Amino acid sequence: MPQIAPTVLQLVQSNSLPALVQAEIEQLILGGELAIGQRINESDLASRFGMSRGPIREALRALEESRLVRSEKNRGVFVREVSVAEADEIYDVREALDQLIGQRVAERASAEQLRELEAVVTDMDQATGKQDIKSYHSLNLKFHDMLVDFAGNARLTESYRLLTKGLLLFRLRGLRGGGGFAVSNTEHKAIVSAIAARDPARAGRLLRRHAVESRARMHKAAGDGSNGV
């Protein structure tokens, strides 16, 4: 029997209900519908998704493990808030991973993938021209998402995404979307060029530095005089 369209049906059949709900709640958080620090009401979510509290609780437990929410006994689960200090810790790890990503991508990216990266950078240039901050921001996220994917290491992707989500949780406090065009696209171009040249060491170095700059921008945006760890 021929497999035809793997749509919603297949999704519901293979993935369990809690897994689906988990993804849904994650979007609610990352999309800002559930604010930082806010308490999450299980019953509300249950009725919202048309199910009982059981699956909701399972999903929340998984989200707790991925540090998107925190749980206080008998008081409920809260959308996690990430302090500057913790964001700093995350960046420390992220810098190391970004270097690895740069190396691996330079070694492994296919010609097709390289073209995709170049396309995104071009799009970002256009967004900059149009002063379209929103597009730029989402393209930027996509760019880094592609990079870690093209590194071809599932565990690395997983670790990196986990970290990135934590950072997102920090960025969302107040200044949604971050400091505009502060992210220079020239950095992206240099990275892609190093990848195109198949120079792992340089690509790694540049991507790490990019993360370092990003951290600096965060500090600036947060307007703090913190030690910077």
Partner DNA sequence: AAACTGCTTATTGTCAACAGTCTTCAATCG
Partner DNA sequence: CGATTGAAGACTGTTGACAATAAGCAGTTT
Can you list the alpha helix ranges (DSSP code H) found in the chain?
A: 8-14, 17-30, 42-49, 53-65, 84-108, 111-129, 133-150, 154-171, 185-196, 200-222
Residues 6+ apart with CB under 8 A from 124: 136, 139, 140, 143, 185, 188
Binding mask 151-190 for a second copy (x = CB under 8 A): --xxxx-xx--xx--x------------------------
> Residue 131, SS3?
coil
140 contributes a contact to a second copy by CB under 8 A: no
**Considering only 41-49, 109-117, 147-155, 205-213, which stretch makes contact with DNA by CB under 7 A?**
41-49
Question: Which residue in 28, 57, 84, 212 binds DNA (CB under 7 A)?
Answer: 57
Q: Which is nearer to a second copy, 166 or 178 (CB)?
A: 166
Binding mask 59-78 for DNA (x = CB under 7 A): ------------x-xxxx--
Burial class (CB in 10 A: 0-12, 13-18, 19+), 74: exposed
Identify which of 214, 203, 226 has the alpha carbon closest to the alpha carbon of residue 107: 203
Residue 14 contact partner, candidates a second copy, DNA, none, CB within 5 to 8 A by sort of partner: a second copy
Q: From CA 206, how far away is CA 208, in angstroms rounded? A: 5
Parallel, antiparallel, or unpaired for β 69-72 and 76-79? antiparallel
Q: Which is nearer to DNA, 18 or 204 (CB)?
A: 18
Per the structure block, which two tokens stand in for 86?
A: 């913790």
Residue 69 contact partner, candidates DNA, a second copy, none, CB within 5 to 8 A by sort of partner: none
Identify which of 193, 177, 197 has the alpha carbon closest to the alpha carbon of residue 185: 193
> Residue 1, SS3?
coil
Q: Which is nearer to a second copy, 73 or 134 (CB)?
A: 73
102 contributes a contact to a second copy by CB under 8 A: no
Q: From CA 171, how far away is CA 185, in angstroms rounded? A: 20
Binding mask 23-62 for a second copy (x = CB under 8 A): -------------------------------x--xxx-xx
28 contributes a contact to DNA by CB under 7 A: no
- Which residues are near a second copy by CB under 8 A? 13-16, 18, 54, 57-59, 61-62, 64-67, 71, 73, 86, 89-90, 92-93, 96-97, 99-100, 104, 153-156, 158-159, 162-163, 166
